[in-house]
Amino acid sequence: MRKHLKILQSKILLSELRLRHAIKTLPCAHKKILLFLLALLILSGLLLLWQIDKNLSIEVPTEGGTIREGIIGTPRFVNPALTISDADRDLTMLVYSGLTRAKGDELILDLAENYEISENGQCYTFTLKPNLLWSDGAPLTSDDIIFTIEQIKNPSTKSPKRANWEGVNAEKIDERTINFCLEKPYAPFLENTTLGILPLHVWKNVLPEQMPLSDFNIKAIGSGPYKIEKITRSSSGIISSCALVPNKNFSLRAPFLKKIILKFYPSEKDLVDAYKQKQIDGLSAISPEQILEIKNKDALLKTYFLSRIFAFFFNQDNAPVFTKKEVREALNLSVDKEKIVSEVLQNFGAAINGPIPPGSIGHIEKPASEENFEQRIEQAKKILEKNGWELNQEENVMEKKNKKEIVKLEFSISTSNMPDLIKISNILKEDWEKIGAKARIKIYEIGDLEQNVIRPRKYDALLFGEIMGRDPDAFAFWHSSQRNDPGLNIALYANIAADKILEEVRTIFDAQKKEKKYYEFQKEIEKDTPAIFLYSPYFIHLLPSSLKGVNESSITISSERFSQVYNWYTNTKKIWKIFVN
C-alpha cells in the first residue's frame, strides 16, 4: 500500500513540474491569455456563488437595537387593575400579558392555548399554555388569573376595570383551566380577556385597599414581552425614564429589540423639544400641526384609526333650550365638519355622522352632502324661523317667545384644556353665530372636567371624546340606564326603542346580524339628534425609519401601538430560505 502511495505522489510531483516548465516556456502573450482566462474562471465562480446565495437566502430580523420613545405624563400604576393614564397603560402593555392579545382588528391567543364558548354564549373556558413563567421565573397558573379578577371585582381595590367584570364568575378548573360564566350572554366579552394578569406570588400579601400604595405598581413583575430593567428619577423623585429589556419567558416569541427606553415629559412642548434635540427617537399623542412641523425624512409616520369618536353632547336636563328639536337640528346642520378635519386635524381624521367609529361593525358611511356650508347655514336659519325663532338684532341672538318667558338661543360649551378641542370649540362658536346662536366656551383641566363637570352632569353641552371597543358596544354610552354617574351616557339619552336594540345587540355573535341591529340603532339616534357627531381622529405615531415590523392597521386605545412590539426590529441578517421556520 505504501509503495503504491509513493508511486502516486511521484507522478503528481512529476506532473506539477511539467506544468510549471510548460508555463515558463510559454511565450509572454500566451502567459497573459492564460492568466486572464484563470482570473475570468475565478470571477465567474464567485459570481455564480453570489447568485446562488442571493436566490436561496432572505433577510430576516435579528436581535439588537434600542428605541427611545417619549411620552407625556408620569407612570403611577404599572398595574392592569389600576391603570389610569396613558403612561400607565403604555408600560402595562409592555410588561403584562393577557389570555388574549390585540392584533389589529382581531384578538390572538397569548397566555391561552385555546378557549371554548358554550352553546348559550354565557360560559368561556380557557386553557393556558403549558409551562408558563413570570419574568422572575415563577410559574404562572390559573391561580394568577383568578386572583387578578377577584382583585378587580373587589370594591376596596377601586379598579377602573371593575365594571367590565361585574356579573362574571371566574372558576378554577385545574392548574391550566379557567371557566368564566356570565349572568347573560355578552358578545364583546372576549375583549375583556386582553386584561393583563397579575402575579399572585408578588401581590398575595397586599390587601386590596393597600394595592394603590404598593411599590409593586412600579417595580412590576409581568409576563409580557418586556420587563423593567431600570427606573430613573429626577432630583425631586419623579420618574423620568424607564429602561426595558426582553422577557425571555414571554409566551409568544422573544422580542427582537434589545432595549426600549421610555422617557416621560410633563407637556407637549417638552416632548417636542426632546425630539428636536434627538433625546428620543419616537413620540405620539401630540397635535397634528406639531407632527407635520417636526417630521423629517428619517422619520416613519404611522397613523391608525382609533376606535374613538368626538361629539358635541347636548344636556337637555341642564339646558332647556336643547329640548327643542329644531334647535338641535339647526345646530347640527350649521357645523363645518370638513373645516375641523382639515384645519385642526390636518386631515389626520375623518368627519362622522353617527356614534359608531369608522372601521367598526355598524359604521355608516354617509355620502357627502350636496349642499355646501353656506346653503346649510340658510337651511338651519329657516328651520328656526319656521318654528317661531326670531333674531334679536341688538344682541344678534335668536329668541323665541313663550307664554311665560323669552327663550334665547344661548348656551355654554364645556371641554378640556387641549389645544385641538379649544380650536374646535372656537370653530363651533363661530359657525353657530352665523345662525344667531350664542355659545360661551368653558375650559377645564381634564381631571376637573371629569370629576366636577361630567360626573355630576353639570354642563349645558359637552365637547368630548368616547373610546369604543374593538366590538363597538354602545350600551354604556347610549342606554338610558347609564345616564347617571358612573354611566357614560353623557347626552342623558333616553329612547325605549334604542334601549331594546342595545340590549339585544350585546347577545348577538353573528357579525351581519349585529351590523343590522346597529343600523337600526343609528336610525333612532339620527331621528332624535341627542348629539352632533364631529370626527374620528387618527392616532399618530412618529418612529425612526430604521424601525421595521410595525404593521398594525388599527388600534382601540393608544397603548395598543405596543401590542405587537415583539415584532419590531432594527437589525437584520441573511439566512438561506431552507433554514427559515
6: confidence class by pLDDT, cuts 50, 70, 90: low
Q: Which superfamily does 66-280 belong to?
A: Periplasmic binding protein-like II (3.40.190.10)
Contact 97, 288 (CB under 8 A): no
Q: Could you read off the pLDDT of 263-285 as tens digits, one per residue? A: 999 888 899 999 999 999 999 98
383: confidence class by pLDDT, cuts 50, 70, 90: very high
Q: Which of 304, 310, 305, 271 is nearest to 290 (CA)?
A: 271
* Cis peptide bond prior to 486, omega within 30° of 0: yes
Give the start-end residues of each E strand in 206-340: 226-233, 239-246, 259-265, 282-284, 299-306, 308-314
Cell readout for 284 is 405620539
**In the prediction, which pLDDT does 404 show?**
80
Residue whose grid cell is 372576549? 190
CA dihedral 51, 55, 60, 62 (to 10 degrees): -40
Q: What is the residue type of 452?
A: N
Percent of the chain surpassing pLDDT 90: 66
Q: Could you read off the pLDDT of 522-570 as tens digits, one per residue? A: 999 999 999 999 999 988 899 999 999 997 667 888 899 999 999 999 9
Residues in the chain, overall count = 581
The phi, psi pair for 232, rounded to 5°, reads -110, 135
How far apart are alpha carbons 338 and 128 in whole angstroms?
Answer: 48
The top-scoring range by mean pLDDT among 51-60, 101-110, 214-223, 367-376 is 214-223
Percent of the chain surpassing pLDDT 70: 89
**In the prediction, which pLDDT does 536 show?**
92
How far apart are alpha carbons 300 and 296 in whole angstroms?
Answer: 9
Average pLDDT in the chain:
89
Q: What is the third-level CATH fold of 306-538?
A: Dipeptide-binding Protein; domain 3 (3.10.105)
Whole-prediction pTM: 0.78
Q: How many CB atoms lie within 10 A of CB 131?
A: 10
* 402-407 own/partner pairs: CB under 8 Å, 24+ apart: 407/320, 407/321
Q: Could you read off the pLDDT of 144-182 as tens digits, one per residue? A: 999 999 999 999 998 888 878 988 999 999 999 999 999
Residue whose grid cell is 408578588? 202
**In the prediction, which pLDDT does 34 show?**
60
How far apart are alpha carbons 260 and 269 in whole angstroms?
Answer: 22
How far apart are alpha carbons 81 and 157 in whole angstroms?
Answer: 8
**In the prediction, which pLDDT does 13 show?**
61
**In the prediction, which pLDDT does 359 show?**
79
Q: Which of 301, 302, 280, 300 is nearest to 66 (CA)?
A: 280
Q: So where are the chain's domains? A: 66-280, 306-538
